[in-house]
Amino acid sequence: MKILVTGAAGFIASHMAERLKREGFSVKGIDNFSNYYDTSLKKLNRDTLEQQGIEVIEMDLRNPDEYQKLEQDFDFIIHFAAQPGISASVTFEEYLENNVKATQNLIGFAHRNKRLKHFFNISTSSVYGLEATYPEDAAPKPASFYGVTKLAAEQLVLAESRTKKMNASSLRLYSVYGPRERPEKLYTKLIACAYKEESFPLFSGSEKHLRSFTYVGDIVEGIFMAVQKHHVLNGEIINLGTEAEYTTQEGIDLVQELLGIKIELELVPKRAGDQWHTRANIAKAKKILDYMPTTTLKEGLQLQINWYKSNFL
Write down the number of H helices and E strands in the chain: 10, 15
Element at 237 (helix H, strand E): strand 237-240
- Is 219 in contact with 120 (CB distance < 8 Å)? no
Three-state secondary-structure class, residue 77: strand
Instruction: Please state whether 286 falls in left (phi above 0), alpha (psi between -120 and 50) or beta.
Output: alpha
Q: Annotate 160-181 with DSSP letters as a single string.
A: HHHTTSS-EEEEEE-SEESTT-
- For the chain, the first-to-last Cα distance in angstroms comes to 39
Name the catalytic one among 36, 95, 146, 177.
146
253 backbone dihedrals φ, ψ, rounded to 5°: -60, -40
Question: Are the C-beta atoms of residues 179 and 304 closer than 8 Å to each other?
Answer: yes
Question: Is 146 noted as a catalytic residue in this protein?
Answer: yes
The count of other CB atoms within 10 Å of the CB of residue 221 is 19
CB 27 within 8 A of CB 51: no
> b/e string for 94-132 if b means 16 or more Cβ within 10 A?
bbbbbbbbbbebbbebbeebeebbbbbbbbbbbbbbbeb
| Of residues 165, 159, 61, the one with CA closest to residue 112 | 165
Residue 60 CB contacts under 8 Å (≥ 6 apart), including other chains:
32, 66, 102
Which residues are designated catalytic? 146
